[in-house]
Chains A and B, each alone.
Chain A
Amino acid sequence: AQSVTQLDSQVPVFEEAPVELRCNYSSSVSVYLFWYVQYPNQGLQLLLKYLSGSTLVESINGFEAEFNKSQTSFHLRKPSVHISDTAEYFCAVRRSYSGGSNYKLTFGKGTLLTVNP
């Protein structure tokens, strides 16, 4: 079984401030990790993912996330946020091999990031 915990349901910040959205996961097997973003009244879209290799992964719009295996975390960060980053962010995991089970995607409950001027 696998689960994802997003520690903050809401994070309000001012424009140009740094932000960190926290994600911890639990799994009995090796997993891949994803961050999705949902802008108002839209579906979810992939922001970035960790598969293997470097533990720091980056998105095209300045977000980065660091995989920490010992702490089972995959926190999302941005050094300077914009008003347009206001959205809900979801952390998700998917097992890395089938092993008789399936590749069901498991989400956290989401963190609403609100960037204020």
Chain B
Amino acid sequence: NAGVTQTPKFRVLKTGQSMTLLCAQDMNHEYMYWYRQDPGMGLRLIHYSVGEGTTAKGEVPDGYNVSRLKKQNFLLGLESAAPSQTSVYFCASGLDRGNTEAFFGQGTRLTVV
């Protein structure tokens, strides 16, 4: 059971470089989320999607873009990385029902130098 898979698990970027984080889920979930986790800040929602082809901004969307071309994949892009984007990024997915939980990936640790 793969669940939610994030790639890569670790990455070091130089300031100004771009990269894409991939999230894949095999549970046929409608909802997918990207969060960042920083010490003392908890989980902050970057972007989310309520279905294939749709995306919406979360709390901290600046500097990030997302795409949901296929239901099972949710991509998070950094066009020009900044040191402030050093963080642990988590992807999650869930059903389109309020009484169900979200399932999380193992995280991507990104360092921007």
Contacts and interface: CB of A to CB of B under 8 A. Distances in A.
A50 B31 CA distance: 20
B95 to A, nearest CB: 8
Q: Is the interface of B mostly helix, strand, loop or mixed?
A: strand
Contacts of A94: 98-99
Interface residues of A, number: 28
Contacts, number: 61
A110 B90 CA distance: 15
A75 interface: no
Nearest to A45: B104
Interface of B: 4, 31, 33, 35, 40-43, 45, 48, 50, 56, 90, 92, 94, 96-99, 101-102, 104-107
Given A42-B106, A107-B42, 5 more contacts: A34-B101, A90-B42, A94-B99, A103-B94, A109-B42
Q: Nearest 5 A-B pairs (CB), nearest first?
A: A109-B42, A43-B104, A44-B104, A46-B101, A107-B43
